[in-house]
Structure 1
Amino acid sequence: MEERRQHQRRRTDLTVEVYDRHTGASLGRLADLSSDGFMLCGAQVPAADSVLECRLVPLPPLHETGEIHLGADCLWSRGGQEGQLGWAGFHIIDIAEDQAAALEELISHL
C-alpha cells in the first residue's frame, strides 16, 4: 500500500480522549497523531466519510496544552468484534491557527 501521509504519525503514551464537540459523545482515544491526522480506538468509532468537529483532551491536562478543537474527516473505520475496540483514521481538515500551535505542542510531548 502506498504511503500518502505527509507527516509522520507519532504513537502516544499519553491518554488523549477525543469527543464530538456538538454532542459531547466520546469518540475514543488517540492511538497516534500528526499535524495533519490521527488514528483513534474506541468502543463505537465513527463511520468512514463522517466529518466531525472534535475536542482532543489530554488526561491528565498538560499545563501548556488545554483542549484542542479541530474539524476532521474520517477516512476509514473498522468496528471491533464483540468485546473489542474499533479503529478509525482521520484527516484534519479545519483547525484555527492557535489550535494548530496547541496541536504542535501536544505532538512535542509524544
Structure 2
Amino acid sequence: MEERRQQGRRSTELLLEVVDAHTGQRLGRIVDLSMDGFMLFSEALLTCDSLWECRLIPLSPIEGVQEIRLGADCLWTRPAADGQHCWAGFHIIDLAEDQEALLENLLHQM
C-alpha cells in the first residue's frame, strides 16, 4: 500500500477519546495521531467517506489540553477481529488556529 501521509503519526499510550461533537456519542479511542489525521479503534461501526465534528478528549490530565475540537473525514474502515469493533483512519479537514495550537501541544507531550 502506498504511503500518502505527509506527516508521520505518533502512537500513543495516552488515553484519548473521540466524541461526536453534536450527539456526545463516544466514537472510540485514538491509536495514533498527527497534525493531519488519526487512527481510531471504535466500538461503533463507522462508514467510509463520513464527515465528523469531533471532540478529542484526554482521559488523563495533559497540561494545557482539556479537549480539541476538529472536523475529520473518515477515509477507511476495517473490521476488528471480534467483528464488533472497527479500525478507522481519519484525515483532519477542519482545525481552527487555537485548536491547532492545542494539538501541537498534545503531540509535543506524547
TM-score by length of structure 2 reads 0.94
Secondary structure of 1:23's aligned partner? coil
Q: Distance in 2 between matches of 1:49 and 1:86?
A: 15
RMSD: 1.3
Equivalent residue, structure 1, for 2:109: 109
Q: Distance in 2 between matches of 1:35 and 1:42?
A: 20
Q: Is the 8 A contact 1:27 1:45 kept in 2?
A: no
Secondary structure of 2:49's aligned partner? coil
Amino acid at match of 2:49: D
Q: Which runs of 5+ in 1 are unaligned?
A: none
Secondary structure of 2:23's aligned partner? coil
Equivalent residue, structure 2, for 1:26: 26
The answer to whether the aligner puts 1:74 opposite 2:74 as a matched pair is yes
Q: Distance in 1 between matches of 2:83 and 2:46?
A: 17
Q: How does 1:1-110 map to 2 (within 5 A)?
A: 1-82=1-82, 85-110=85-110
Q: Which runs of 5+ in 2 are unaligned?
A: none
Secondary structure of 2:2's aligned partner? coil
Give aligned-pair identity as a percent.
Answer: 58
Q: Distance in 1 between matches of 2:41 and 2:68?
A: 18
Secondary structure of 1:52's aligned partner? strand
- Post-superposition Cα deviations, 1:2-55, rounded to whole Å, max 9, x if no partner, equal 110000000001000000000100000000000000000021142110000000
**Once the 2 structures are TM-superposed, how far is the Cα of residue 83 of structure 1 from its aligned partner?**
5.9
Aligned residue pairs, count: 110
